[in-house]
Amino acid sequence: MRTGRAAGMAASAAALALAGCVAHGPQLAPADPDALASRVELVATPFFPQRDYQCGPAALATVLAAAGVPVQADDLVAEVYLPARRGSLQAEMVAATRSRGLLPYVVPPSKQSLLEQVAAGRPVLVLQKTGAGPWPGWHYAVVVGFDTLADQVILRSGTRARLEMPAARFLATWDRADRWALIAVAPGEMPANPDFARYMQAAAGLESIGRIEAATLAYEAAAREWPTEALPQLGLANLAHARGDLAGAERGFRAAIERAPGDAAARNNRAAVLLDLGCPAAARREIDTAAALADGGPHVAAVAATRREIEAATAPDRAGCPPDSAPAHSPP
């Protein structure tokens, strides 16, 4: 067991080296030099010096304030600081950002993605795993700039308002923390080069804690950015349904199905709304398609429940029911 683990660690080091984490020469120069400015510094980013071990609240206050939410590091201590662990959990940093109505976007774990966000004007909250210094272990800091010529990043870190750190050292500590990075995005705005899945995860989180206005802005921005994707339409339709706009919800779910005819969730939701609209026959056609698509997938239980509800309805459709949605494509 012990030798197996040791061999695993050795192989781990080998794999990391092979994956290109242990590189020589300049670290920050991007593959495509025209893609990014060579020097960026967000000098207007506020600074909250940390107290004790509270780098988490201080770093979080920095990115929240930069996103336009006035906050003091002390206000965040109760939310994101665990005294017994002398630290803050990443999930709590995400939750505290969300609870202020900002979109907590976890940046894809690449150097390029990190620098893109800074170049687009957003300071980036990063987790570092350091081996030495006054805060051994884990540390949160905020990347506010970079200089590819000097090969360094500029941080708000701990008690240092402006810390220039050699890129190699920064990347090594960030890499050991699984390259975790977070930005706070005002709802309706987009991260630089946004990743659809990460963005939608953050936006749906806003809806799930009841930040409806922020979620609406975030889904609308997603619908503009990714006009062919179904999920933003589904999100907007769910919000329409939540405020009692059944006709609007039905249209939204139909728009989602048009974009993804195999989406069992959108069909399930449309069927439920059709039933509430007094169109049980149309609802039945939709839920039958949903059931065929949901088979073996994550929505099978929800679809079966909706189907039972619809099958209990016996009345005919009222006049003026909406047209059927797009058919599900048969597999080629």
Partner 1 sequence: MFKRFLVQVFCVALLNLGSPLVAQAGLIGTLQAVEAGTRAHDLAAVNAALARDQVREQFVALGVDPAEVESRVAALTDSELRMLAGKVAEAPAGASALAVIGIVFLVLLILEAVGVIDIFKKFP
Binding part of the chain for partner 1, among 75-83, 114-122, 142-150, 298-306 by CB under 8 A, reads: 298-306
Query: Which of residues 23, 212, 247, 326 is near partner 1 by CB under 8 A?
Result: 212
Q: Which of 64, 96, 200, 282 binds partner 1 (CB under 8 A)?
A: 200
Three-state secondary-structure class, residue 51: coil
Q: Which residues, including other chains, have CB under 8 Å from residue 291's CB and lie 6 or more apart? A: 303, 304, 307
- Least separation in angstroms between CB 205 and partner 1: 7
Nearer of residues 162 and 176 to partner 1, judged by Cβ: 176
Per the listing, tokens 């870190």 go with: 157
Q: How far apart are CA 271 and CA 326, in angstroms?
A: 13
Shortest CB 225 distance to partner 1, Å? 15
What b/e readout covers 15-50, taking b as 16+ CB neighbours within 10 angstroms?
A: eeeeeeeeeeeebbeeeeeeebeeebebeebbbbeb
Applying CB under 8 A, among 121, 136, 137, 210 the residue interacting with partner 1 is: 210
For the chain, the straight-line distance linking the first and the last C-alpha, in angstroms and rounded, comes to 48
Residue closer to partner 1 by CB (options 134, 298) is: 298
CB of 270 closer than 8 Å to CB of 325? yes
What backbone phi and psi angles, to 5 degrees, belong to 124? -115, 125
Considering only 17-25, 57-65, 114-122, 138-146, which stretch makes contact with partner 1 by CB under 8 A?
17-25
Q: Does 22 bind partner 1 (CB under 8 A)?
A: no
Contact (CB, 8 A) for 267 and 254: no
Q: Is 225 helix (H, G, I), strand (E, B) or coil?
A: helix
Q: How far is the CB of 230 from partner 1 (least distance, A)?
A: 9
Helices (H), the chain: 2-18, 55-66, 73-80, 90-99, 111-119, 167-176, 196-208, 212-225, 231-242, 246-259, 264-276, 280-294, 300-311
Taking contact as CB under 8 A, which single stretch among the options 15-23, 53-61, 135-143, 151-159 is the one that binds partner 1? 15-23
**Which member of 30, 46, 49, 109 binds partner 1 (CB under 8 A)?**
109
Interface of this chain with partner 1, residues 122 to 161, rule: CB under 8 A: none
Residues in CB range of 313: below 8 A, 6 or more apart? 275, 280, 283
Residue 64 found at the interface with partner 1 (CB under 8 A): no
When asked if residue 191 is in the footprint of partner 1 (CB under 8 A), the reply is: no
Task: Quote the least distance from Cβ 318 to partner 1, whole Å.
Answer: 19
Residues 6+ apart with CB under 8 A from 41: 144, 145, 147, 154
Among 272, 279, 282, 291, binds partner 1 (CB under 8 A): 272
CA 178 centroid distance within chain: 16
For residue 150, the minimal CB distance to partner 1 (Å) is 25
> Does the protein bind partner 1 through residue 72 (CB under 8 A)?
no
Contacts with partner 1 by CB under 8 A lie at: 1, 3-4, 7-8, 11-12, 14-15, 18-20, 108-110, 178, 197, 200-201, 203-205, 207-210, 212, 215, 219, 231, 234-235, 238-239, 241-242, 263, 265-266, 268-269, 272-273, 275, 297-299, 302, 305-306, 309
